[in-house]
């Protein structure tokens, strides 16, 4: 159960009013009077998409209109498995949009991560329930202010499109922290999207030219928003894509993807960046596809037969045939013709403004109980990373903190700073943050500012098991103000009209300066890990390839 702001209500003071209410209560008339004066319920909101009408509801407590489980592409099953997303067939008539659609196939991947975090904060992990799963999963969810219909005369609203994380192997568009109602209530159309995961979304095979199906699903969702902008009440010239972890990493790929060019103007990338290390080649991943085919159907089988194979059998076989490869996009020569690193350094990114950053303790929760320097190579870092780690230890840093800092810098901080500087060189604006807020309490100290810790502040969705105090709520208001200002204008500084005091956030130009630290005290700082990034080679991304985080958002 997530924390929610109380619904707005007017408090009438004065003993006269209280006495009258008391008298009516004693007379048994309060209920009758309230029933007679209560306004009729607002009609259910309707989203008209071509010849289909999706009937939604109003979110509690904000009252914004919400449409859950709206399809944006054909079901990627049968002949559509391992193909680019196909257009949605006609769906004439009225359809309920009251329930979220099943998550894409993942085998409980994210549920296990959530249970670990809940337990880490002293909550009951049994409270985390895995979502239903299906290959038929290309659906999205829409929140928008009540009364915004997209009719002529309504001013179109800026759009925030959220792409969930989960290592491209797990996650779903309606995790509790991704509830879009509080953002929508501030004058946005908020869309959270699904995309194919794991072996169904990122699959290479020599008989299929495409490989980045999950990435193409994200493009299809953005195109759907453009196509139906009038019905959504959406301003297609103010679309911000926002993602965390692998969702943010996918956005970095979208910035380099020709098919996504002109589909968004701003990007928010949270706790990602390793896309700059190296983008694998499809030819190097094709053998895993052939191995899967043989494991499911035996020697002499075909990709066509594999497309018709049982979902569970394919997923089970992939656990072994794809165990040594992650599920990042690849250079397939069709959707991606070069690595992200080449696009970044060649100045060929989409011309978008960027808000990007990392948390202080991204990797702490993923370390073994008794870590050693040998764990650096196990986490995908080169042998050369031992030298800066050894220096930190010699300076008195604890082993766990040393490994957390080095892996976090390698995977996220350093490539993010590199990307921010590259965007600025191309002529767009970059804004960099460093999230260091640690929740109160002894249990919170074991996780620090962990991977995904900023999400409840962005969406204002603090879970009941998270220790949340007045400082956290103040920080929520400020982060909300920064993020929504950026989505409106490309500049996170909201101005005085919001009524929320936010310290000025300078644009990033490079060299680790002017990074906004987000904590109980907010201030621009020189990034504390900039020297470590220099030791690790921030100016020379490239190989070796680093794996995805081993779980989490």
Per-residue model confidence (pLDDT) at position 24: 27
Cα–Cα distance, 356 to 241 (Å, whole number):
12
Give the residue among 44, 240, 47, 219 at the shortest CA–CA distance from 161.
Answer: 240
Per-residue model confidence (pLDDT) at position 19: 31
314 or 323, greater pLDDT: 314
Per-residue model confidence (pLDDT) at position 553: 62
Per-residue model confidence (pLDDT) at position 149: 55
In angstroms, the Cα distances linking 188 to 44, 145, 150 are 19, 7, 12
- Mean pLDDT check: name the lowest of 50-54, 101-105, 496-500: 496-500
Mean pLDDT, rounded, of the chain? 88
pLDDT by residue (tens digit) across 525-539? 999 999 999 998 764
Whose tokens are 């769906």? That residue is 91
Cα torsion angle, 373, 376, 381, 382, sign = positive
Per-residue model confidence (pLDDT) at position 501: 87
pLDDT by residue (tens digit) across 130-160? 999 999 999 999 999 987 554 434 799 999 9
Residues 6+ apart with CB under 8 A from 62: 5, 181, 182, 184, 185
Give the residue among 125, 108, 109, 127 at the shortest CA–CA distance from 117.
Answer: 125
Strands (E), 206-285: 234-244, 266-270
Quote the tokens at residue 480: 């909300």
Stretch 480-502: mean pLDDT: 90
pLDDT by residue (tens digit) across 282-313? 999 999 999 999 999 999 999 999 999 999 99
Per-residue model confidence (pLDDT) at position 406: 96
Helices (H), 327-398: 340-345, 375-378, 386-394
Stretch 482-501: mean pLDDT: 89
Provide the 3-class DSSP secondary structure of residue 329: coil
Residue 15 banded pLDDT, cuts 50, 70, 90: very low
Taking 60 as the threshold, does the pLDDT of residue 35 lie above it?
Answer: no
Cα–Cα distance, 108 to 257 (Å, whole number):
30
Cα–Cα distance, 419 to 354 (Å, whole number):
9
- Mean pLDDT check: name the lowest of 200-209, 298-307, 334-343, 544-553: 544-553
* Residues β-bridged to residue 435: 359, 518
Cα–Cα distance, 285 to 552 (Å, whole number):
24
Cα–Cα distance, 161 to 163 (Å, whole number):
7
pLDDT by residue (tens digit) across 187-206? 999 999 999 999 999 999 99
User: Between 246-256 and 213-227, two packed helices, what is the crossing angle to 10 degrees?
Assistant: 70
Cis peptide before 321 (omega within 30 of 0): no
Q: How many helices (H) and strands (E) does the chain have?
A: 20, 14
Per-residue model confidence (pLDDT) at position 550: 43
Per-residue model confidence (pLDDT) at position 5: 26
Cis peptide before 16 (omega within 30 of 0): no
Whose tokens are 């054909």? That residue is 74
**201 backbone dihedrals φ, ψ, rounded to 5°:** -110, -25
pLDDT by residue (tens digit) across 236-258? 999 999 999 999 999 999 999 99
Per-residue model confidence (pLDDT) at position 382: 87
* Residues β-bridged to residue 524: 516
| Contact call for residues 169 and 137 (beta carbons, < 8 A) | no
Quote the tokens at residue 84: 């680019």
Cα–Cα distance, 172 to 194 (Å, whole number):
6
pLDDT by residue (tens digit) across 433-456? 999 999 998 888 889 999 999 999
Taking 90 as the threshold, does the pLDDT of residue 524 lie above it?
Answer: yes
Strands 65-71 and 157-163: what pairing? unpaired
Taking 60 as the threshold, does the pLDDT of residue 279 lie above it?
Answer: yes
Strands 157-163 and 189-193: what pairing? parallel
Cα–Cα distance, 383 to 131 (Å, whole number):
40
Provide the 3-class DSSP secondary structure of residue 49: strand
491 or 381, greater pLDDT: 491
Taking 80 as the threshold, does the pLDDT of residue 121 lie above it?
Answer: yes
């Amino acid at each position: 159960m997530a924390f929610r702001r109380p619904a707005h209500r007017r408090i009438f003071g004065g003993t006269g009013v209280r006495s009258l209410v008391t008298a009516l209560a004693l007379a048994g008339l309060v209920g009758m009077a309230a029933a007679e004066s209560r306004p009729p319920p607002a009609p259910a909101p309707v989203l008209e998409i071509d010849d289909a009408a999706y009937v939604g509801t109003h979110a509690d407590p904000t009252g914004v209109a919400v449409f859950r489980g709206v399809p944006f592409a054909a079901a990627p099953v049968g002949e559509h498995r391992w193909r680019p997303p196909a257009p949605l067939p006609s769906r004439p008539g009225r359809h309920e949009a009251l329930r979220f659609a099943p998550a894409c196939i993942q085998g409980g991947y994210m549920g296990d991560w959530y249970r670990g975090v809940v337990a880490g904060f002293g909550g009951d992990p049994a409270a985390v329930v895995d979502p239903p799963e299906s290959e038929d999963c290309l659906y999205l969810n829409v929140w928008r202010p009540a009364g915004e219909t997209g009719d002529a005369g309504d001013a179109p609203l800026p759009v925030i499109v959220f792409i969930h994380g989960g290592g491209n192997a797990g996650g779903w568009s309606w995790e509790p922290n991704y509830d879009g109602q509080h953002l929508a209530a501030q004058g946005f159309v908020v869309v959270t999207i699904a995309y194919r995961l794991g072996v169904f979304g990122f699959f290479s095979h020599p008989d299929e030219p495409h490989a980045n199906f999950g990435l193409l699903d994200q493009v299809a969702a953005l195109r759907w928003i453009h196509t139906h902008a009038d019905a959504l009440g959406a301003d297609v010239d103010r679309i911000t894509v926002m993602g965390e972890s692998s969702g943010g990493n996918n956005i970095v790929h979208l910035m380099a993807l020709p098919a996504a060019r002109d589909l968004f103007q701003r990007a928010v990338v949270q706790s990602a960046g390793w896309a700059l290390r190296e983008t694998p080649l499809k030819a190097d991943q094709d053998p895993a596809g052939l191995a899967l085919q043989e494991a499911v159907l035996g020697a002499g089988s075909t990709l066509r037969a594999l497309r018709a194979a049982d979902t569970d059998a394919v997923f089970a076989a992939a656990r072994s045939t794809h165990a040594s490869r992650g599920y990042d996009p690849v250079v397939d020569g069709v959707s991606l013709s070069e690595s992200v690193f080449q696009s970044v350094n060649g100045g060929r990114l989409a011309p978008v403004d960027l808000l990007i950053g990392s948390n202080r303790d991204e990797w702490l929760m993923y370390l073994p109980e008794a870590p050693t320097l040998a764990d650096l190579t196990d986490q995908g870092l080169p042998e050369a990373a031992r030298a800066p780690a050894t220096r930190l230890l010699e300076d008195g840093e604890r082993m766990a903190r040393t490994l957390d800092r080095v892996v976090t810098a390698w995977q996220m901080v350093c490539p993010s700073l590199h990307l921010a500087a590259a965007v600025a060189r191309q002529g767009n604006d970059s804004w960099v943050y460093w999230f260091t807020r640690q929740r109160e309490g002894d249990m919170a100290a074991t996780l620090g500012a962990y991977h995904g810790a900023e999400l409840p502040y962005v969406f204002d969705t603090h879970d009941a098991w998270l220790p949340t105090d007045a400082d956290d709520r103040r920080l929520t208001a400020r982060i909300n103000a920064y993020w929504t200002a950026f989505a409106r204008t490309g500049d996170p500084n909201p101005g005085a009209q919001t009524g929320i005091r936010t310290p000025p956030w300078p644009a990033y130009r490079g060299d680790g300066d002017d990074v906004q630290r987000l904590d109980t005290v907010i201030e621009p700082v020189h990034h504390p890990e900039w020297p470590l990034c220099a030791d690790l080679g921030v100016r020379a991304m490239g190989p070796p390839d680093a794996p995805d985080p081993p779980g989490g958002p």
